[in-house]
Amino acid sequence: MTAPFEFCLRLGDTDLILSQRLGEWCGHGPVLEEDLALANVALDLLGQARLWLTLAGEREGCGRSEDQLAYLRDAGAFRNLLLVEQPNGDYAHTMTRQFFFDAWHLPLLETLGSSSDAAIAAIAAKASREAAYHLRRSRDWIIRLGDGTEESHRRMETAIAALWPLTGEMFAADAVDSSVIDLEALRPRWQSEIESTFAHATLAVPSDAWMQHGGKQGVHTEKLGTLLAEMQFLQRAYPGAQW
């Protein structure tokens, strides 16, 4: 089975948009080590996005490069998860977004690592080693903030309430996803990661809630537009510009 253009695009866009969000912290991190850590996670994700988008361009077969896909598409053509386009908020918000993502990303990549599509398997096997480090770090932060002060605990609860309705999209497969991977099969591992970490963090796992969808089909929040305005500015203002 060869993964279609659209599937590679979803993986690439999700990594790219989260990388851009994390990059916004650069120079604003709460402490120097955190500033470096966020920039490094952003860099890993950007590297992974480049691999996926290059592959997407090959699968599409119209000659589009990773740069053309990243810089010359409008919001409606992006296929990232709604979760990753959410603004950074405070640090509890940023780390909750990261933890929900990492806890899904690692099992996703590990599963894709044994895909029968050799190109998908190669990228996923490589990326999963990096994702393991990301999860270890975001998990530590959830525990530290949840089981921290009254204020940090309260902020974690606010972040969880805001982001939880965006987690369902990670497991909601349409025909594009189902042709490559069984997303629903990733849920038990994700759920148990959330439950054990939240237990350590003295945080409550939200019960079933209404889940928002649309990112993977190109229906985004208006927040993606402002992110793209900044990310794509240079290439839009000076078409073809290179470093």
Q: Residue 237, interface with other proteins (CB under 8 A)?
A: no
Cβ 127 to other proteins shortest distance, Å: 6
Binding residue (CB under 8 A) for other proteins from 16, 83, 103, 123: 123
Closest to other proteins by CB, 33 vs 222, is: 33
Q: Residue 129, interface with other proteins (CB under 8 A)?
A: yes
- Residue 112 DSSP one-character state: H
Question: x/- string (CB under 8 A) for other proteins, residues 79-118?
Answer: ---------------------------------------x
- Residues touching other proteins: how many (CB under 8 A)? 27
The CB-based long-range contact list for 129-138 (8 Å cut-off, 24+ gap) reads: 130/44, 130/48, 131/102, 131/105, 131/106, 132/106, 134/41, 134/44, 134/98, 134/102, 134/105, 134/106, 135/99, 135/102, 135/103, 135/105, 135/106, 135/193, 137/37, 137/41, 138/95, 138/98, 138/99, 138/102
Binding residue (CB under 8 A) for other proteins from 48, 80, 98, 111: 48
Residues 6+ apart with CB under 8 A from 170: 81, 83, 100, 104, 183, 186, 190
Residue holding tokens 């939200």?
206
Q: Residue 37, interface with other proteins (CB under 8 A)?
A: yes
Q: Which stretch binds other proteins (CB under 8 A): 41-49, 70-78, 174-182, 233-241?
A: 41-49
Q: Residue 122, interface with other proteins (CB under 8 A)?
A: yes
Closest to other proteins by CB, 47 vs 218, is: 47
Best CA proximity match to 115, nearest among 57, 190, 178, 181: 181
Contact residues for other proteins, defined by CB under 8 A: 33-34, 36-37, 40-48, 50-51, 118, 121-123, 125-127, 129-130, 133, 136-137
